[in-house]
């Protein structure tokens, strides 16, 4: 295995709030506030709970509402004290479409954990 250290242009990186990313992974709605969360629950009382059911839920408005809420994941200044840390305390993750060789600064080979 190899650890690659690289620097790439900021325009090539998509950043998001790591904690809120789990809402996307679990197909959950990200409420603006407590009242917004209550309104969502009242609007979709029959919404599915398990992630594998929510993804396939046939209610189109449910899917649109949940997916639109995910825009908050990419707003690194967005703050809801019940869901995410203050902007200066957030854990940020990022993705790049590709890693170009010209961006590579260092390569460090390593051996993973050995198990018996």
Determine the pLDDT at residue 98.
94
Distances (CA, A) of 86 to 17, 64, 78, 89, 114: 11, 27, 8, 5, 39
> How many CA within 13 A on the CB side of residue 79?
8
Sign of CA dihedral 40, 45, 48, 54: negative
pLDDT of residue 47: 75
Q: How far apart are CA 109 and CA 112, in angstroms?
A: 10
pLDDT digits over 88-104, tens only? 999 999 999 999 999 99
Burial (0-12, 13-18, 19+ Cβ within 10 Å), 47: middle
What confidence score (pLDDT) does residue 45 get? 79
pLDDT score for 17: 95
Whole-prediction pTM: 0.77
Measured CA distances, 106 to 4, 13, 72, 109, 110 (Å): 6, 19, 34, 10, 13
Report the percentage of the chain scoring pLDDT > 70: 95
Binned at pLDDT 50, 70 and 90, residue 8 comes out as: very high
Per residue in 9-28, pLDDT tens? 999 999 999 999 999 998 89
């Amino acid at each position: 295995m190899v650890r690659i250290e690289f620097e790439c242009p900021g325009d090539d990186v998509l950043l998001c709030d790591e904690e809120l990313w789990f809402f996307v992974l679990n197909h959950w709605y990200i409420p603006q506030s407590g009242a917004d969360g209550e309104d969502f629950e009242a609007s979709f009382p029959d919404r599915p709970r398990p992630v594998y059911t929510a993804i396939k839920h046939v209610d189109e408005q449910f899917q649109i509402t949940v997916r639109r809420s995910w825009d908050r994941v990419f707003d690194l200044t967005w703050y809801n004290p019940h869901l995410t840390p203050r902007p200066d305390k957030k854990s940020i993750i990022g993705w790049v479409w590709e890693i170009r060789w010209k961006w590579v600064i260092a390569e460090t080979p390593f051996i993973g954990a050995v198990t018996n």
